[in-house]
Amino acid sequence: MKVPWLTPILGAISDGKIAAMLEKQVVHLEREKDEALLNLKNAEAKIGDLESQLKKLTPKSDIAVEATQVLQRFSEHGCELSADQIGGITGIKIGKVIHHFGSLRSLGFIRQSRARSSDSEPPFRITPKGSSFLVEHGML
15 phi and psi angles, rounded to 5 deg: -85, 115
Q: How many helices (H) and strands (E) does the chain have?
A: 6, 2
- Are 69 and 128 found together in one domain? yes
Query: Between vectors from CA 64 to CA 59 and to CA 65, what angle results, nearest 5°?
Result: 80
| pLDDT (0 to 100) of residue 64 | 78
| pLDDT (0 to 100) of residue 82 | 87
Domain count, the chain: 2
| pLDDT (0 to 100) of residue 59 | 55
- Are 76 and 126 found together in one domain? yes
- Are 76 and 29 found together in one domain? no
Rounded to 10 degrees, the C-alpha dihedral 11/15/20/26 comes to -70
- What are the E-state strand segments in the chain? 110-112, 124-126
| pLDDT (0 to 100) of residue 60 | 56
| pLDDT (0 to 100) of residue 119 | 52
The C-alpha atoms of residue 30 and residue 24 are separated, in whole angstroms, by 10
Give a yes or no: residue 70 inside a domain.
yes
Q: Which residues of the chain have pLDDT under 70?
A: 57-62, 115-120
Give a yes or no: residue 10 inside a domain.
yes
Last residue of a domain, one of 16, 32, 57: 57
Give a yes or no: residue 1 inside a domain.
no
Domain that holds residue 31: 6-57
- Are 53 and 84 found together in one domain? no
